[in-house]
Amino acid sequence: MSNDDINARRREQVKLNMLTVAAVAGKYYLIDGGYGNTPNYIALYRGVISPQDAKELFNLHHSSLRNAIERIFSVIKNRFPILKNTSSHSFVMATDVIIACCTLHNFTQIHSNSEYWIYEEYDLQ
Protein backbone atom coordinates (compact mmCIF):
# COMPACT_ATOMS: atom_id res chain seq x y z
CA MET A 1 0.00 0.00 0.00
CA SER A 2 1.45 3.42 -0.98
CA ASN A 3 1.81 6.41 1.34
CA ASP A 4 -0.96 8.17 -0.59
CA ASP A 5 -3.30 5.24 0.05
CA ILE A 6 -2.40 5.21 3.73
CA ASN A 7 -2.96 8.97 4.04
CA ALA A 8 -6.28 8.74 2.21
CA ARG A 9 -7.43 5.97 4.58
CA ARG A 10 -6.36 8.05 7.59
CA ARG A 11 -8.27 11.11 6.34
CA GLU A 12 -11.36 8.98 5.76
CA GLN A 13 -11.08 7.48 9.25
CA VAL A 14 -10.79 10.97 10.78
CA LYS A 15 -13.95 12.03 8.92
CA LEU A 16 -15.79 8.97 10.20
CA ASN A 17 -14.57 9.59 13.75
CA MET A 18 -15.71 13.21 13.58
CA LEU A 19 -19.13 12.20 12.35
CA THR A 20 -19.41 9.53 15.05
CA VAL A 21 -18.44 11.94 17.83
CA ALA A 22 -20.84 14.56 16.49
CA ALA A 23 -23.87 12.24 16.61
CA VAL A 24 -25.50 13.52 19.78
CA ALA A 25 -29.27 13.20 20.13
CA GLY A 26 -31.12 16.45 19.54
CA LYS A 27 -28.13 18.22 17.94
CA TYR A 28 -27.58 19.06 14.29
CA TYR A 29 -24.24 19.63 12.60
CA LEU A 30 -23.49 21.50 9.39
CA ILE A 31 -21.56 19.38 6.91
CA ASP A 32 -20.34 20.05 3.40
CA GLY A 33 -21.84 18.73 0.19
CA GLY A 34 -19.54 15.69 0.23
CA TYR A 35 -21.86 14.10 2.77
CA GLY A 36 -25.56 13.50 2.37
CA ASN A 37 -28.28 14.59 4.76
CA THR A 38 -28.58 12.02 7.51
CA PRO A 39 -29.98 12.18 11.03
CA ASN A 40 -28.16 14.94 12.95
CA TYR A 41 -26.24 16.17 9.86
CA ILE A 42 -27.42 18.89 7.52
CA ALA A 43 -25.73 19.31 4.13
CA LEU A 44 -26.25 21.92 1.44
CA TYR A 45 -28.80 21.41 -1.30
CA ARG A 46 -26.81 20.65 -4.44
CA GLY A 47 -26.72 22.81 -7.54
CA VAL A 48 -28.01 26.05 -6.00
CA ILE A 49 -26.37 29.40 -6.78
CA SER A 50 -28.50 32.35 -5.57
CA PRO A 51 -31.58 32.12 -3.33
CA GLN A 52 -34.88 31.92 -5.21
CA ASP A 53 -36.85 29.74 -2.77
CA ALA A 54 -36.67 28.23 0.73
CA LYS A 55 -34.08 25.58 -0.21
CA GLU A 56 -31.81 28.14 -1.77
CA LEU A 57 -32.20 30.49 1.19
CA PHE A 58 -31.30 27.58 3.47
CA ASN A 59 -28.12 27.07 1.41
CA LEU A 60 -27.21 30.73 1.83
CA HIS A 61 -27.62 30.60 5.62
CA HIS A 62 -25.87 27.22 5.83
CA SER A 63 -22.94 28.59 3.87
CA SER A 64 -22.77 31.72 6.00
CA LEU A 65 -22.69 29.70 9.23
CA ARG A 66 -20.10 27.32 7.85
CA ASN A 67 -17.87 30.25 6.83
CA ALA A 68 -18.16 31.73 10.34
CA ILE A 69 -17.22 28.37 11.86
CA GLU A 70 -14.22 28.00 9.54
CA ARG A 71 -13.07 31.56 10.40
CA ILE A 72 -13.16 30.91 14.15
CA PHE A 73 -11.29 27.62 13.68
CA SER A 74 -8.65 29.55 11.75
CA VAL A 75 -8.37 32.16 14.53
CA ILE A 76 -8.06 29.52 17.24
CA LYS A 77 -5.52 27.47 15.25
CA ASN A 78 -3.38 30.59 14.73
CA ARG A 79 -3.64 31.49 18.41
CA PHE A 80 -2.80 27.98 19.63
CA PRO A 81 -0.23 26.39 17.27
CA ILE A 82 -0.63 23.00 18.99
CA LEU A 83 -3.94 22.69 17.10
CA LYS A 84 -2.17 22.67 13.74
CA ASN A 85 -0.97 19.12 14.37
CA THR A 86 -3.11 17.12 16.77
CA SER A 87 -2.66 13.93 14.72
CA SER A 88 0.33 12.90 16.84
CA HIS A 89 -1.95 12.64 19.89
CA SER A 90 -4.58 10.07 20.74
CA PHE A 91 -8.14 10.94 19.78
CA VAL A 92 -9.08 11.56 23.43
CA MET A 93 -6.03 13.77 24.04
CA ALA A 94 -6.65 15.74 20.84
CA THR A 95 -10.26 16.32 21.91
CA ASP A 96 -9.14 17.53 25.35
CA VAL A 97 -6.56 19.88 23.80
CA ILE A 98 -9.18 21.37 21.45
CA ILE A 99 -11.64 21.91 24.31
CA ALA A 100 -8.92 23.51 26.48
CA CYS A 101 -7.85 25.88 23.69
CA CYS A 102 -11.45 26.89 22.93
CA THR A 103 -12.09 27.47 26.65
CA LEU A 104 -8.97 29.64 26.99
CA HIS A 105 -9.91 31.58 23.86
CA ASN A 106 -13.45 32.22 25.13
CA PHE A 107 -12.18 33.19 28.59
CA THR A 108 -9.77 35.78 27.21
CA GLN A 109 -12.42 37.11 24.82
CA ILE A 110 -14.91 37.57 27.67
CA HIS A 111 -12.56 38.96 30.30
CA SER A 112 -10.24 41.17 28.32
CA ASN A 113 -9.94 43.16 25.13
CA SER A 114 -6.37 41.97 24.96
CA GLU A 115 -4.51 38.85 26.02
CA TYR A 116 -1.54 40.86 27.31
CA TRP A 117 -3.06 41.01 30.79
CA ILE A 118 -2.18 37.33 31.16
CA TYR A 119 1.51 38.08 30.71
CA GLU A 120 1.46 41.20 32.91
CA GLU A 121 -0.51 39.78 35.82
CA TYR A 122 1.28 36.44 36.00
CA ASP A 123 4.68 37.50 34.62
CA LEU A 124 4.72 34.71 32.03
CA GLN A 125 6.86 36.41 29.40
d(CA 113, CA 119): 14
Predicted pLDDT at 17: 47
Which residues on neighbouring strands pair with residue 30, listed in sequence order?
42
Q: How confident is the model at residue 48 (pLDDT cuts 50, 70, 90)?
A: low
What's the N-to-C CA distance of the chain in angstroms?
47
Evaluate the CA torsion angle 8, 32, 95, 86 in order and state its sign.
positive
pLDDT tens sequence across 81-113:
888 876 777 888 888 888 898 899 888 887 776
pTM of the model: 0.47
Per-domain residue ranges of the chain: 1-43
- Percent of the chain topping pLDDT 70: 54
Predicted pLDDT at 89: 76
